[in-house]
Amino acid sequence: MASAAREVWGDLATTAFVESSLLFRSLDPEARRDLLQLARQATWAAGDQVSGDADEGFYLVVDGQAAALVGGVEVAQLERGAFFGEGRVLGAGRPTALVARSEVAAVVFPAPVVAALGERFPKVRKLLEAMHAARQKDASGKLAS
């Protein structure tokens, strides 16, 4: 079960981590501020489901390891700096779950807000699309095995 989510706004270390993310570096200061004001950070214990099909979150892993699962098959391992939920943001993809393999801390953003940023900042959308395509290709190969 997730810890109680806490606000990120005002947490300098988490703010610096989000700002240094390859995905969010291209945002202007106002967009980053708006995103950080909506962000929450939570932690999950090993074995907890972090994210599921009905979830509306977009996750940036701060610490720990998590596995992305499609139909119970692990299709990706996520660690510090990795993001998850790009399929939700793009309105595409297979149903996936994210399960903590160790204690996981992540910053959680509302997926519709990240989608709006992707429309406003083409570089963000391109990075999301590239990651989504790569994960879909990897998942197809693993599911076919």
- Closest Cα partner for 51 from 78, 23, 32? 78
Enclosing domain of residue 90: 6-138
Residue 44 lies in a domain: yes
**4, exposed or middle or buried, with CB in 10 Å at 0-12, 13-18, 19+?**
exposed
**Predicted local distance difference test score (pLDDT) of residue 122:** 95
Count of domains in the chain?
Answer: 1
Residues linked to residue 105 through DSSP beta bridges, in sequence order:
43, 63
CATH code of residue 69: 2.60.120.10
Mean pLDDT for the stretch of residues 104-108: 95
Residue 10 lies in a domain: yes
Residue 144 lies in a domain: no
Residue 145 lies in a domain: no
Query: pLDDT-based confidence at 100, cuts 50/70/90?
Result: very high
Question: Per residue in 43-96, pLDDT tens?
Answer: 999 999 988 666 788 999 999 999 988 777 888 899 999 999 888 899 876 667
Q: Is the pLDDT of residue 142 over 80?
A: no
Residue 1 lies in a domain: no
**Predicted local distance difference test score (pLDDT) of residue 141:** 74
CA 10-14-15 angle, 5° bins: 60
